[in-house]
Amino acid sequence: MATVISLPITAPPTPASWIQDQTNAGQTISPASPFANLFANASFELKAIKLLPVGLAYLAHVRRSIHNHSFEEHDKHEEERRKRVKNDEGQANEDDLGVGDEEETSELLALDPKEWKKQDHYAVLGLSHLRYTATQEQIKIAHRKKVLKHHPDKKAGLAGDSNDDAFFKCIQKAQEVLSNPEKRRQFDSIDPYYMELEEEVPREKEARRAVERDPKEFFDTFGPIFEREARFSKNRPVPMLGGMDDSKQQVENFYDFWYNFDSWRSFEYLDKEVNEGSDNRDDKRYTEKKNRSERARRKKEDNARLRSLVDLALAVDPRMKRIKQEEKEAREAKRRKVKPGAKSGEDVEKKRQEEEAEKKRAEEATAQEKVEKEKEKKAKAKAAKDARRAARKAAEESGAPTPPNGAA
């Protein structure tokens, strides 16, 4: 709002003899408070006038006047208003399903349509934030947006090379690939963005060290990896890495699924082009054969890669440690359970049963998500403890009046 006028002058050096204020000598000016110095005897001439109620500036003046705003406050309000209007406009066109506008880098615009196989089709359509999650609708909208912007007809009047429709061709190619489910699947298989990420899988040593430092690290590192690998699965839903408190069953399910991962990933996209120009059948067959074997090799490699990834995850999974620990505890608990069970008398047995039921109810109420087995085990452990306590109590209170819930 506030424009700064830049003057082409250079102020002369203030003479050393200059005194700050001849009329108000002795007063100091404090830089902190703008209202510190009030010059009672200085005033300037004013006259009353009538503004013409015209234009934006008058509107701004009226707003300031009505709300009694200073210039700064008004600037702030105007900024907010502008944002709101922009928002409203954004909402007016909100049928873009979150496609949005991505910045077009100069590299992107300089893409060569002849090299279309190497281009990132999602980036070309401005969908690099959605990638394989983009729906056909979104792709359609993104394509339309790009075409509206880059169609050669739009550029005809502009300065520069009006015949430069290279990027438009790239857009068309990207649309062709992404709108065809089969071609899109092939491209998704080798999506260059994820190919790069795949390289970044941590090595076992560092992973192990990191997990030892903080078990949470495991989930932070491997969670996104499995999420992104899950897109290749033919079977749905795909179990995800989960959290620290997952049960043994869940963890086992997870690794079971991932060891038997059924991937649709394929590598046709990387095939060498069959030389169309040559009508040599042998040549063609040779290339095809090579492509087939290459695909098979890549697929095999990919499977191996995934397997080693799962291996790695399993090796450093902090839950496995915990589960082993729990199993050990459970075994010990079992062993201990036998002893108090022999000691318990008949009446104690009844009481114990009831208390157990109560405990169960309470447990249900707190809604702890525990697997059946664990619950039972815990309950049993508790029950054993209770039984012991009850036994002690019974021993202490023998002869005393029966407990209210007792049936003796």
Partner 1 sequence: MALSNGSARSRKSNPTVVGINFGNSYASIAVINKEGLADCIANEDGERQIACAVSFHGEEIYIGNQAKPQLVRNAQNTIINFRNLLGKKFSEIPKDQPIISAPVIQHPELPDVAAYKVAILQPAPTPLPPASVKSSSNTPATSVLPTPRSEPIPAERIITVQEVTSLFLKSLVQSAQDFLGREVDGAVIVVPSWFDDSAGAALKSAAEDAGVEVLQLLDEAGAGALVSITEPVEGLDPDRTSLLVDLGQSSLSLSVLSIRHGLLYAIGSAHHEDINTEQIDTKLVKFFTKEFTRKTKVPLTVCPSTETADKRAEAKLRLALEHTKRTISASPGAASCSVESLKDGVDFTGSINRMRFDMEVRTVYDSVVRAALDLLEGVGLEPLHVDEIIYVGGSASLPGLDETFFAKGFPESTITPFTAGTVIGGGIGDPTTLLARGAALQAQLLAEIANEDEQIHAAFRPESEHATVHATARTIGVILPEADAGDEGLGGQWVLGIPRDTPLPYRRFVQFDCDLGEEDKEERILGMELWEVSEGVKVEKIAPPKREKEEGEEDEDEEEEEEEEEIREKILKKEKQLGALAVKAEKARKENGRWKTRVQVQFLAHSRGIILIAAEVSEDGTGAPASIHIS
User: Residues in the site for partner 1, rule: CB under 8 A?
Assistant: 2-15, 17-18, 20-24, 29, 31, 34-40, 42-66, 71, 88, 92-95, 97, 135, 137, 140-141, 144
Beta carbon of residue 179, minimum distance to partner 1 (angstroms, whole number): 14
Which two structure tokens, joined as six digits, stand for 284?
């063609």
- Which CB atom, from 80 or from 137, has the smaller least distance to partner 1? 137
Residue placing its CB nearer to partner 1 in the complex, 97 or 379: 97
Distance between CA atoms of residues 183 and 274, nearest Å: 17
Tell me the closest approach of the beta carbon of residue 135 to partner 1, in angstroms. 8
What is the DSSP code (8-state) at residue 17?
T
Q: Count of CB atoms within 10 A of residue 147's CB?
A: 15
**Distance from chain centroid for Cα 89:** 27
Which residue number, 24 or 235, has a Cβ lying nearer to partner 1? 24
Say if CB 153 and CB 165 are below 8 A apart: no
Please identify, using beta-carbon distances, which residue of 22 and 405 lies nearer to partner 1.
Answer: 22
Question: For partner 1, which is the closer residue by CB, 56 or 362?
Answer: 56
Minimum separation from the CB atom of position 185 to partner 1 (A): 21
Residue 113 DSSP class: G
113: CB partners within 8 A, 6+ apart: 166, 167, 169, 170, 173
Shortest distance, CB of residue 48 to partner 1, whole angstroms? 6
Separation of CA 348 from chain center:
55
Give dist(CA 76, CA 50) in Å, integer.
27
Whole-angstrom distance, CA of residue 87 vs CA of residue 81: 10
Decide whether 39 or 193 has the Cβ nearer to partner 1.
39
- Least separation in angstroms between residue 44's CB and partner 1 is 5
Q: Which amino acid is at 323?
A: I
Q: How far is the CB of 243 from partner 1 (least distance, A)?
A: 29
